[in-house]
Amino acid sequence: MTTDIIYRYKNQVYFNITNKCPCRCTFCIRNTEDAIGEASNLWFEHEPALEEIYKAIDEFDFSDCNEVVFCGYGEPTMALENLIAVSKYIRERYPFRIRLNTNGLSDLIHKRSTAEEICQAVDSISISLNMPDAASYNEVVRPAYGEKSFDAMLKFARDCKQYLDDVRFTVVDVIGEEKVEQSKILAAQNGIPLRVRKYSP
């Protein structure tokens, strides 16, 4: 079976550029191995090389696409160099907006501040807040970096906001009303809008 580097869901085209991720979220589709949208298989036998991603772009039909989203079966910033190169490749060829869906842990992954270079590569960033406090975040996200992850994720979001207008947090409504309300307060305290997504199994 071939693996989908690029797949479509409605008018958005998703880029699956890595299967790597430093987290083990309890709800992650990586746990169920389901594919999404028109994707048939999102698991790579090997991580895609830049040339393979370029080839997938060249062969993909982008008709009716209005946004490209780095998302996929892993954390896109694990493949930061490729992410930046692919954004450039897209911008040189298409007028699409480019969005990054991220767990916000890029600074911990790369052991340096990464907000500026990421913000130059995309038009909007959606950061998974998941939970409104470090303890419950850790229980659900199970990041490899432990409890410092939550504060690092918040800092990354605030840093991004310095470079890009369209930065938002997301939570899923299944966390419950109380945690959603707490998330709204935390997001406001950090000066970042919160999008509450409906859970879809």
Closest to 68 measured CA to CA, from 37, 103, 48, 96: 96
Nearer to ligand SF4, 87 or 103 (CB): 103
Report the nearest approach of ligand SF4 to the CB of residue 194 (Å).
17
Place of tokens 């470090």: 134
By rule CB under 6 A, what string of x and - marks binding of each residue 79-118 to ligand SF4? ------------------------x---------------
- 20 near ligand SF4, judged by CB under 6 A: no
Start-to-end CA distance of the chain, whole Å, equals 24
Report the nearest approach of ligand SF4 to the CB of residue 14 (Å).
13
Report the nearest approach of ligand SF4 to the CB of residue 142 (Å).
8
- Residues 6 or more apart whose CB falls under 8 angstroms from that of 61 comprise none
Closest to 65 measured CA to CA, from 7, 149, 139: 7
Nearer to ligand SF4, 174 or 185 (CB): 174
